[in-house]
Every structure is written in structure tokens, then in C-alpha cells.
């Protein structure tokens, strides 16, 4: 298993370019199953989760060729596709469940492994199943598999999500876009990745309209047209680099990214004293000499507040703040796995329920650490490069799931990091 060796402290400066969004690419790749015609998807990030989704599509019968060092995938589906998504592929990446909607739309049946829980929480799929069942699908769960059947095909309906869910919104859109008749979906997630998915489907001829802030109207179409589409850039990667710039009074130009998408996070950075300049497709962040504490931040669904996928990175930032800060995690029930590891560096953080109380201005010293999940592991890298001495970060395969060549990008901006492969 690969590990990172990081020597700190280092101050970062320079420029970084943001890669394609993993969380946008995953549902769009799953959507390719809906097409009979060729689909070209550009700006794919070269990360493990994308490889896993491509393997899953191949196992379902898609023919895939690549261009531009695998950043462009050209996908075509033969009539011979199958509708079985095995545990071996879905277990490593929960987004595997996103093939359920498209498979049902195409074959009126699907057998998809249930993704199970993961380290950050239970992460059930009840909301996905309940919404899709409204379109005329019957489900049976057997031996860890979701067996789904819609004998009469998918039929439009009215759906209201009991809770905002990114994955359930995507799966339901994918199921409804070629269903017979009209589907109204209320209380949708409106993350930028969902807008990217609806833009993609619309560009291919789907009849999808946002008719309210969180309400979608979908008139099912018989088929979708061949399309070439470029995935949006990764807001979590961009946000992570913005935080990195602030940790040690560094400064960074973040290229290839529309700042509006991470407005909530940039507002918090301004509150801690960072100088943020926005120009066309670029963000310039200069970290303050003294980081101000934040009394209270809560993670929430987009666009209201800090993204849960940025919580761990902001916690590292607040370790360096002048005073006490509180972060409340409201999306996942077990998303403080990075805390015991940060404590190994000397961090003073108390957990009370879903709140982390962070004592600021802590001097951190390098130590050996263990990654537990994707965003926790990037937070450990950030913490390691502001710690004095050497840190070793184990199990960086978590990080490889979602960050493209992060060590190369960090090296270029002044972080002393190297990968040890076995």
C-alpha cells in the first residue's frame, strides 16, 4: 500500500490548475448507459473512482475507448449490455449504485449490489429505492443485492424526497429522464454536480427543467442523442487548495475554476482573514498572518454552508486559528475519523456528539498517521505539511480515489511530499 512522506513546515506559493470533478463525472458516466448512440465525455479526472466506474460500465457491456491520456472516454453501448452490477465493483465505490436508475430505464430490470455502509456513516439507499419505486419499480433485497423490476417500464410520477440526498436525486433523474410521461421531483439536492448532470442530459435531448429552487420537471423522452460533453471542474479540489494557501500565510493562484461555485467556503476563508481575489476563471488566495477563529460553522447541503466534503480541511485550518472554534457535522454521522489522527500531531480537539471543538494556535509536530476516508486523508496531508518534522501518511489509496496526482500538484507549490510505493 502506498504512503506519503511529508516534511514540514512548508509555505505554499505559485499556481495550481483544477482537474475535472469526480462527483460530477460519476453520475454522467452512469448516464451513458441510457444512450444507444455514442457518448464522448471529456475532462475526466484520472482518479481511482473513475477507473472503477469505467470498469463497472465495461462489465455491463459498454465499449469504451480513450483519448488524451484517458481524460476523454468515448462510450458506446451494444444491445448486448447486461444489467448486473457486482459487489466486487460496487463495494469499493458507493456511486456504483448510480447505475440502478439507467439500467432500469434501459432494461426494465436490474440487479445491483447494495453498496453497504462506509467509514463516514451508515449511508443507506432507502431514499433512492423509495423514489424509484414511485416510477413503477418493485424491489427485492436478496443476499446483498437489489433486484429491481419494472414489468411495464418506468412511468412518470410525483416524488418528494424526505431528506436531501445527492445520490438519490441523481439516480431518480437518471431513471425518470427516459420514463413514460412526466415526473416531478421535489426537495432535490442542488449541488453543482447535479446541475452538471441535468445540463449534460438536456444537451443530449432530455426534457428536464428546474421549475423551483429544489423542484425538477422531467418529461420522459424515448431516446437521447449522441453527445460530446466536458465535465465541470472539481469544487472540492479547488476548495482544498484554497484552504492549503491559508494554512501558513501562503498565496496561491487557483486556475481553471469558477469561484461562484465555492462561495460559501470562500466567505469562511475571508472571515478567518484571508484575502480572496476573483477574476475570470481564477481565484487568488492569500493566507493571513494570524488566522482568526470562527465561533461556529455547520456543514449543510449546497448552497447554504460549508460542504461536508470540506469539513476535515477546515478543521486543520482552525487548528492554526487564534482561539476556540466549533464545527458541527450535520450530513454524516461519523465524519470525524481524522480527529484521532490530527491529535497524533498535537491537535487539541474535543468531540461532543456531532460537534468538534477545536483549540487554536496549536504547534503541530510530524507523526505517523492513517488515512480513513477520502477527505480525511487530504486533511492529514494538509496538517502534515504545516507540522514540524516528518509525517508518514499510510493508506493513501483513499486519497487516490478522488484527487488527481495530488503529490505532483503539491510539490509544484512548495510542499515537500513524496510517495512510497510497495
The binding site for ligand UD1 (CB under 6 A) comprises 23, 26, 94-95, 121-128, 163, 165-168, 189, 193, 308-309, 331-332
Cβ neighbours of 163 (radius 10 Å): 10
Which CB, 120 or 291, lies closer to ligand UD1? 120
Q: Which is nearer to ligand UD1, 5 or 118 (CB)?
A: 118
Query: Least CB distance from residue 106 to ligand UD1, whole Å?
Result: 21
**Residues 247/240, Cβ–Cβ less than 8 Å:** no
Quick one: three-class SS letters along 109-160?
A: EEEEECCCCECCECCCCHHHHHHHHCCCCEEEEECCEEEEECCCCCECCEEE
Q: Using CB positions, name the residue nearest to ligand UD1.
A: 167
Query: Which helix (H) or strand (E) element contains residue 209?
Result: strand 207-212
Minimum CB distance to ligand UD1, residue 401 (Å): 10
Minimum separation from the CB atom of position 377 to ligand UD1 (A) = 13
CB 166 within 8 A of CB 194: yes
**Smallest separation (angstroms) from ligand UD1 to the CB of 332:** 5
Smallest distance, ligand UD1 to C-beta of residue 79, A: 29
Closest CA to 310 of 352, 275, 261: 261
| Beta carbon of residue 343, minimum distance to ligand UD1 (angstroms, whole number) | 23
Nearer to ligand UD1, 166 or 238 (CB): 166
Cell 509525517 locates to 391
How many CA within 13 A on the CB side of residue 160? Answer: 2
Measured from the CB atom, the residue of 60 and 306 that comes closer to ligand UD1 is: 306
What cell does 338 get? 481524522
Nearer to ligand UD1 by Cβ, of 268 and 413: the residue is 268
Cβ distance to ligand UD1 smaller for residue 196 or 284? 196
For residue 178, the 8-state DSSP code is T
- The whole-angstrom separation of Cα 22 and Cα 44 is 7
In the complex, least distance from residue 300 CB atom to ligand UD1, rounded to whole angstroms: 9
Nearest-angstrom CA–CA distance, 151 and 109: 8
Active-site residue, from 118, 177, 178, 188: 118
Compute the distance between CA of residue 73 and CA of residue 91 in angstroms, rounded to an integer.
23
> C-alpha cell of 208?
428536464
188 is catalytic: no
H/E stretch holding 171: helix 166-176
Torsion of CA 115, 24, 32, 113, to 10 degrees: 0
First to last CA, the chain: 6
- Nearest in space to 177 (alpha carbons), one of 101, 85, 126: 101
Comparison of 251 and 354: residue with beta carbon closer to ligand UD1: 354
CB 357, CB 336: distance < 8 Å: no
Residues annotated as part of the active site: 118
Amino acid at each position: 500500500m502506498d504512503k506519503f512522506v511529508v516534511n514540514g513546515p512548508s509555505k505554499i506559493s505559485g499556481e495550481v490548475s483544477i482537474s475535472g470533478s469526480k462527483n460530477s463525472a460519476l453520475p454522467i458516466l452512469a448516464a451513458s448507459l441510457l444512450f444507444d448512440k455514442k457518448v464522448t465525455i471529456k475532462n475526466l479526472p484520472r482518479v481511482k473512482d473513475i477507473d472503477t466506474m469505467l470498469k463497472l460500465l465495461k462489465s455491463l457491456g459498454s465499449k469504451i475507448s480513450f483519448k488524451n491520456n484517458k481524460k476523454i472516454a468515448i462510450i458506446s453501448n451494444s444491445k448486448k449490455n447486461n444489467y448486473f452490477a457486482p459487489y466486487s465493483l460496487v463495494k469499493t465505490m458507493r456511486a456504483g449504485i448510480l447505475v440502478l436508475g439507467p439500467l432500469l430505464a434501459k432494461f426494465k430490470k436490474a440487479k445491483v449490489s447494495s453498496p453497504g455502509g462506509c467509514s463516514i456513516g451508515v449511508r443507506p439507499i432507502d431514499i433512492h429505492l423509495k423514489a424509484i419505486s414511485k416510477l413503477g419499480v418493485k424491489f427485492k433485497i436478496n443476499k446483498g443485492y437489489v433486484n429491481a423490476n419494472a414489468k411495464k417500464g418506468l412511468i412518470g410520477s410525483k416524488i418528494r424526497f424526505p431528506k436531501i440526498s445527492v445520490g438519490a436525486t441523481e439516480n431518480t433523474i437518471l431513471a425518470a429522464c427516459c420514463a413514460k410521461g412526466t415526473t416531478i421531483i421535489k426537495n432535490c439536492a442542488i449541488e453543482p454536480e447535479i446541475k452538471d448532470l441535468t445540463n449534460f442530459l438536456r444537451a443530449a435531448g432530455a426534457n428536464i427543467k428546474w421549475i423551483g429552487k429544489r423542484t425538477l420537471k422531467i418529461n420522459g423522452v424515448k431516446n437521447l442523442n449522441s453527445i460530446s460533453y466536458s465535465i465541470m471542474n472539481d469544487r472540492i479540489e479547488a476548495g482544498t487548495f484554497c484552504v492549503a494557501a491559508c494554512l501558513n500565510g501562503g498565496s496561491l493562484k487557483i486556475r481553471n475554476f469558477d469561484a461562484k461555485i465555492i462561495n460559501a467556503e470562500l466567505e469562511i476563508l475571508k472571515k478567518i482573514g484571508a484575502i480572496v481575489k476573483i477574476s475570470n476563471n481564477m481565484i487568488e488566495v492569500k493566507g493571513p498572518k494570524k488566522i482568526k477563529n470562527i465561533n461556529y460553522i455547520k456543514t449543510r447541503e449546497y448552497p447554504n454552508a460549508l460542504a461536508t466534503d470540506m469539513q476535515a480541511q477546515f478543521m486543520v485550518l482552525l487548528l492554526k486559528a487564534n482561539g476556540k472554534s466549533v464545527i458541527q457535522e450535520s450530513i454524516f454521522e461519523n465524519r470525524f475519523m481524522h480527529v484521532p489522527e490530527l491529535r497524533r500531531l498535537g491537535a487539541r480537539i474535543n468531540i461532543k456528539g456531532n460537534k468538534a471543538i477545536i483549540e487554536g494556535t496549536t504547534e503541530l509536530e510530524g507523526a505517523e498517521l492513517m488515512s480513513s476516508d477520502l477527505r480525511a486523508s487530504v486533511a492529514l496531508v494538509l496538517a502534515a505539511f504545516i507540522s514540524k518534522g516528518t509525517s508518514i501518511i499510510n493508506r493513501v489509496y483513499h486519497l487516490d480515489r478522488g484527487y488527481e496526482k495530488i503529490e505532483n500538484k503539491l510539490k509544484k507549490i512548495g510542499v515537500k511530499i513524496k510517495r512510497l510505493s510497495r
